[in-house]
Structure 1
Amino acid sequence: MTRTGYLECERRWVYWLLILVAGWYGAYTFSLRGGVFCNAQTANVVLLAMAVGNGRWLNAAYLLLPISAYLFGSFLSEWMGKSVKRLNLLRWDTILVALEAGMVVFLALMPPSWPDQVCQVTLNFACAMQFNTYRQVEGVPAATTFVTNHIRQIGSNLAKLARHPEDDALRRRVRTHGSLLGFFVVGAVTSTVMCRIFSYASLLGALVPLGVVLAGLVRADLFLERGKLDAVPHGH
C-alpha cells in the first residue's frame, strides 16, 4: 500500500483522469456515433421496456446487444480481477486500462462508414469493466463512468455539512465528488471541441489521460507496490 493506506489504483488522480475519459466518451458518441450515451444502461433498459410495450420486437432485440455487452463486461472484469493475480506481474486494474486504450485506437481508426453500433457496444463493454473495477477513491465509493451518483452525493453531503460544519469527513466527501464531477465535465467539453475539429479521430485524444494512468499504474505494479499484487482495493 502507499503511505496513505491505499493502492495507487485507488488514488484520486487515477479517478480524475478515468472520469475525464468517461466524459470524453459521452460527448464523442453523442456528437458522432448515433446521438447516444454509452457510459450506463438505464436509458437502454427504459427503451427496451418501451419497445416491448409498443410491440416493436426488432428494436427490443437490438437493445439487448448493448445491455448484454454491459453485463458481460461486468462479468469479465470480476472474473479477470481474480484470475489475473496468478500472473504475478500486473494488477487487473492496470491491464484493464491497457485494454481500454487499445479499444480507443480501434474505434478512432474505424471507418466512418461502419455502423455506429460497433462503437456504442464496444464502449458499453469498456465502461462496464471500468465501472466494476474502480469502485472507491481513497475510501470514498465512487464511479468513473457516470456522474448521477456524484451529483446526489454532493447534495446529500452538503445538507449534512450544513448541520455539522465541523465534520471534516463530510467536507472531504463533497470535495471528492465535486472534483470527479468537474473532471467529467472537462472531458466532455474537451471532447466536444475536438470532435468539431478532428471528427472521428478526436477519440484518440482520450489516449493522453489513459496513457498517464497506465504509466502510473505500471510503475506502481512493477516498483512501488511490487509483491503486493494480492492486495484487494477497497470496495471489492
Structure 2
Amino acid sequence: MNWKNIQHCYIILIVYKMKGQNNIILKGSIIKLDTKGVMQRYKIKVHLNSVTSESVHLGVFLAIVGGFLDAYTFVGRGGVFANAQTGNIVLVGIEISKGDFVQALMYVPPILAFVLGVVVTEIIKKRSPLILIRDSARVILIIEIILLFIIGFLPNTVSDSFVNVVISFVSSVQICTFRKLVDSPYSTTMTTGNLRTASYEAYIAITKKNRESGIRSLRYFTIIFSFLFGAFVGGRATIYIGDKSIWIAAFILIFSLILFSIDEKICNSV
C-alpha cells in the first residue's frame, strides 16, 4: 500500500464501517474490513512519520547546528551571521543610502545563495524519487553534510565571503525542508519567530489553563535553548579549533541522518 494515501483509505474504511458494512468489493474481490487493525497501523505510521522530520529531538539537533553555524561565521568568518538574510538586506539598504553601491553589492551574494537554496529544495522535493532516495529531507541532510565537510577542507586563502555564501545556501535548504515542529511552523536557523510563538503559547497556557499551549511553548523554548547551546559550542569550538570546527556541525547532521535510517527500518517492519 502507498502510505501517502493511507489516511484517505482509512477514512473510506471508516465510512463503510459506520454504514454497517464489514466487507468491501474492490475490482471483483471481496475484502473483509479490519478497521481496528487499519487504525492501529495508521496511528503507528503517523507516529513514525513524526519521529524524524517533524520531531522535537530532530529539531533540537538542527537548532544546535543552526546556532553553531551562526557562531562559526560570526567568530571565525568576518563577524557576520550567515543564516538569516535580514541583516544583509538591511546592510544593502544602508550602503545604498551612503551612495556606496560597490559595498552594497558585497552583501548580495549571500542573499542570492539563500534564494538558490529555496529553488534547489523545491526541485529536490519533486525529484528525490529519481535519485534513488525517496525522502527529500534525507537528501537535504546529505547535501548539508557534504558542503560542511568541504568548507572544513578549504585552505585559509579562500575568502570568508565565499564560505559565508555556502553557509547561507546550507541554511536556506535546512529552513525550507524542516519547517514544522510536530504540528506548528518553526525555524531551526533563527529564533525570532520561535521566541514569539513560545511567548504567545506560554501566555495562553497561563491565562487560559491550556495544556496544549503549554506543551507547544515548552517545545519552542527547547528549540530556542538548543540554538543557544549550539551558538555556545560553535563559538568555543571556532576559537580553539578554528575553521575545521565546522566538522562538528557536520557530525551532528550525520547523527540526524541516522534517525531517518532507523525510522525507515521501523516503518518497513510495520
Common fold: TM-score over 0.5: yes
For these two proteins, the number of residue pairs brought into alignment is: 225
Aligned CA distance change for structure 1 residues 100 and 217 (closer, same or farther; 3 Å): same
Q: Confirm whether residue 145 of structure 1 aligns to residue 189 of structure 2.
A: yes
What is the rounded CA distance, in whole Å, between the counterparts of 2:102 and 2:260 in structure 1? 43
Q: Confirm whether residue 16 of structure 1 aligns to residue 42 of structure 2.
A: no
Q: Confirm whether residue 128 of structure 1 aligns to residue 172 of structure 2.
A: yes
Equivalences for residues 42-191 of structure 1 within 5 A: 42-87=86-131, 89-165=133-209, 167-191=210-234
Unaligned runs of 5+ in 1: 228-236
Which one-letter code corresponds to 1:62 in the other structure?
Answer: M
What is the rounded CA distance, in whole Å, between the counterparts of 2:130 and 2:141 in structure 1? 19
Cα offset, 1:65, TM superposition = 0.8
> Cα deviation per residue 1:118-140 (whole Å; 9 max; x = unaligned)?
11000100101110111101112
What is the rounded CA distance, in whole Å, between the counterparts of 2:67 and 2:252 in structure 1? 12
What is the rounded CA distance, in whole Å, between the counterparts of 1:195 and 1:84 in structure 2? 34
Q: Confirm whether residue 38 of structure 1 aligns to residue 68 of structure 2.
A: no
SS of match in other structure, 2:50: coil
Question: Which of structures 1 and 2 has the larger relative contact order (alpha carbons within 8 angstroms, sep 6+)?
Answer: 1
On the 8 A contact 2:48/2:263 being kept in 1, the answer is no
2:248 match: 205
Aligned CA distance change for structure 1 residues 130 and 226 (closer, same or farther; 3 Å): farther
On the 8 A contact 2:64/2:228 being kept in 1, the answer is yes
Cα offset, 1:6, TM superposition = 2.5
What is the rounded CA distance, in whole Å, between the counterparts of 1:3 and 1:129 in structure 2? 25
Cα offset, 1:88, TM superposition = 5.1
Cα offset, 1:224, TM superposition = 3.0
SS of match in other structure, 1:49: helix
2:261 match: 218
> Cα deviation per residue 1:181-230 (whole Å; 9 max; x = unaligned)?
01111111111111122111111111231111011113334x23459xxx
On the 8 A contact 1:94/1:218 being kept in 2, the answer is no
Which one-letter code corresponds to 2:152 in the other structure?
Answer: A
What is the rounded CA distance, in whole Å, between the counterparts of 2:190 and 2:202 in structure 1? 20
1:233 match: none
Cα offset, 1:89, TM superposition = 3.2
On the 8 A contact 2:61/2:253 being kept in 1, the answer is yes
**Structure exhibiting the larger radius of gyration computed from Cα positions:** 2
On the 8 A contact 1:24/1:191 being kept in 2, the answer is yes
On the 8 A contact 1:2/1:8 being kept in 2, the answer is no
1:230 match: none
What is the rounded CA distance, in whole Å, between the counterparts of 1:44 and 1:37 in structure 2? 9
Cα offset, 1:5, TM superposition = 5.8
What is the rounded CA distance, in whole Å, between the counterparts of 1:34 and 1:28 in structure 2? 10
What is the rounded CA distance, in whole Å, between the counterparts of 2:157 and 2:197 in structure 1? 41
SS of match in other structure, 1:160: helix
Aligned CA distance change for structure 1 residues 88 and 106 (closer, same or farther; 3 Å): closer
Which one-letter code corresponds to 1:110 in the other structure?
Answer: L
RMSD, aligned α-carbons: 1.7
> Cα deviation per residue 1:169-190 (whole Å; 9 max; x = unaligned)?
1001111110000111111111
On the 8 A contact 1:147/1:181 being kept in 2, the answer is yes
Which one-letter code corresponds to 2:200 in the other structure?
Answer: S
